[in-house]
A and B are shown apart, each in its own frame.
Chain A
């Protein structure tokens, strides 16, 4: 039964990914402007253009091009970037760690801050503390990451320049890492200067991404906590001598976290989507920043590769969330 559900999920996932591939392929092909003409110097002959067009396969019919491209993708060949003249998969995988580290840091901040606000609100439910927290989270929630990012740029760029507002790491930093996971590899190698510099560059973009999600977690988790806190098992825990805080943390939190989890999964994909503009804002060298450059430069293979990677990432996250929901819920695990 469980196996069947998983198989069905994987199949629909494949369909969705195929749909994404079709949409993005069609989109970038109908774009006006000849990318080949753009990459050649002004004096190029028609023959040059024809040669290069053939090299990138743009002379074939659209369905034919699609089949060739998809065939390549299935074999791990995403083509070559027109502007950067490197294999797309190398470029994309080189940037992915930066975006992943940023997104995960944002998620951690959101979980921590949102969880804290939810527990505080539930602990002081019915009082003015709760009303205050509700109003705050409501306001924070309706301001998108882009605006938070601008606000932080303004604050830390002008009024209180303690944090860097552009780049991923201090460019003077010298190091030689095998991967682009600066934080993770830095910790493993004990290069805490690299870790520190990366984190201080990451903090503000991560905060911008985290704030709306934190507010959402604060609201939803608090709601779920309050529902759990009127259940008989929490009453029983109070009679047994546990303090209200202990009741929230030990009895209510795990029950409340389950329904919150599904939402956090979907919202985490939105958060990753937000990295595109936030990275741009903070000149952070991640996937999203590269994507916008690719669009502006009409770098079709690169755009396709990046969008496909994002889509795969989103779908994978949703899959993981569904699976962990099943694993964490004892009623489903044995059912």
Chain B
């Protein structure tokens, strides 16, 4: 413990800042692209043009000006589809992760602080949930609810709440044993006020870190569901459907896979790095 915390601190605030700013910069860029998609996308992401199919990206022979990252097997512009895909990715990340976080953290706080039956029921539920392979569970849920953005978001929340519940429950239990909780109670605070006023602020850094992590995971889950053709409609530009397309056409147009893959790598890495960085910055113990 001491070592883990000492290491980043020893490397000073400078590197911590860099680890916050680099991911923040990428995510802001992404957000900007998502918001301004209709203005900055060079082409209609849905426009098929069979004369322009499988054009390579700009640095290769045979590329066409204006199609910077090439086109897919139906002649759709890869860059434009990626820009529009960022909309879906970020939307799912924000909404799904927030819902998952609220739901899971609440259960974790209740189980960890109230204990007793709360804890027994929630823990057993977590245990049952953990016995499902998450991807299969997600695929199954979306198949049950029907494809569409709402189903994807619901599926993510219904599967991943356990991550929050487990971690927050454990941390709440640690906090609940601390002296300051006792003194707050002796001071006359009731249990709910104590939970919200004393314990919540102390587990908040973990919640924030998990929330960030969950955003990255949500992006991945959406991509996976698109990949198996179960996300929103198959025509809509999402990174996952581009990847599915690219996987199929890998021997003819690998760029259709490469560029969304790079976007996914950077996005997932950014979310988790940002989460860790924020946690360190706001953790009262590390201050």
Indicate if A touches B (C-beta under 8 A): yes
Closest to B272 in A: A142
Q: Is the CB of A288 within 8 A of B133?
A: yes
Known: A142-B216, A142-B273, A276-B135. A223 touches B4 (CB 8 A): yes
Report the Cα distance A19→B136, complex, angstroms.
17
Contact of A153 with B136 in the complex, beta carbons under 8 Å: no
| Interface check B258, CB cutoff 8 A | yes
Residues of chain A lying within 8 A (CB to CB) of residue B131: 16-17, 19-20, 310-311, 314-315
Does any Cβ of A come within 8 Å of B165's Cβ? Answer: no
Chain B residues within an 8 Å CB radius of A291: 133, 136, 139
Is residue B127 contacting chain A, with contact meaning CB distance below 8 A? yes
Which of A28-36, A186-194, A231-239 is the interface stretch? A28-36
Residues of A within 8 A of B135 (CB): 273-274, 276-277, 288
Given contacts A147-B220, A292-B136, contact A154 B268 (CB under 8 A): no
Of B32-40, B99-107, B246-254, the one touching chain A = B246-254
8 Å CB contact of A273 from B11, B124, B133, B272? B133
User: Assuming A28-B144, A154-B254, A298-B143, is B3 touching A310 (CB within 8 A)?
Assistant: no
A7 contacts the other chain (CB 8 A):
no
Chief secondary structure at chain B's binding surface:
helix
Report how many residues on chain B are interfacial, defined by Cβ distance under 8 Å. 47
Interface members, chain B 269-286 (any A CB < 8 Å): 269, 271-273, 276
B144 and chain A: residue at smallest CB distance: A31
Interface secondary structure of A, over-half rule: helix
How far does the alpha carbon of A157 sit from the alpha carbon of B271 in the complex, in Å? 29
List, in ascending order, chain A residues with CB within 8 A of B186's CB: none
Interface check A68, CB cutoff 8 A:
no
Bound CA–CA A147/B266 (angstroms): 11
Taking the closest CB of chain B, its distance from the CB of A264, in whole angstroms, is 15
**A144 contacts chain B at the CB level, 8 A cutoff:** yes
Which residues of A in the span 64-85 have a Cβ within 8 Å of any Cβ on B?
Answer: none
Q: Check A147 against B139 for contact (C-beta < 8 Å).
A: no
Residues facing A in B131-175 (CB within 8 A) are 131-136, 139-141, 143-144, 146
In the complex, chain A residues whose CB is within 8 Å of the CB of B271: 142
CB closest chain-B residue, reference A159: B254
Q: Contact size class for A?
A: 35 or more
Say if the beta carbon of B217 comes within 8 Å of chain A.
Answer: yes
Q: Which chain A residue lies CB-closest to B271?
A: A142
A268 within 8 A of B: no
Return the CB mask of B210-226 against A: 1 if under 8 Å, else 0.
00010011001001100
List the A side residues contacting B140 at CB < 8 Å: 24, 27-28, 295, 303, 307
Interface residues of B in 197-251 (CB under 8 A from A): 213, 216-217, 220, 223-224, 227-230, 243, 247, 250-251
Q: Does B264 contact A (CB under 8 A)?
A: yes
Tell me whether B261 is interfacial, beta carbon within 8 Å. Answer: yes
Q: How far is the CA of A144 from the CA of B243 in the complex (A)?
A: 15
In the complex, what residues of B have CB within 8 A of residue A40's CB? none
Say yes or no: A154 contacts B250, CB within 8 Å.
Answer: yes
Residue B7 CB within 8 A of the other chain: yes
Q: A19-B125, A23-B128, A314-B130 are in contact. List 16 more A-B contacts (CB 8 A).
A: A12-B124, A19-B127, A30-B144, A32-B146, A134-B7, A142-B213, A147-B268, A150-B264, A157-B251, A158-B250, A158-B254, A272-B133, A280-B228, A291-B133, A291-B136, A296-B143
* The 9 residue pairs across chains A and B that have the minimum distance between CB atoms: A273-B133, A142-B272, A19-B128, A311-B131, A31-B144, A276-B135, A158-B254, A277-B135, A157-B250
A/B interface sample: 22 pairs, CB < 8 A = A16-B124, A16-B127, A17-B131, A23-B132, A24-B140, A27-B141, A131-B11, A134-B7, A138-B273, A141-B272, A150-B264, A153-B257, A154-B250, A157-B250, A157-B251, A274-B135, A280-B228, A292-B139, A296-B230, A310-B131, A311-B131, A314-B133
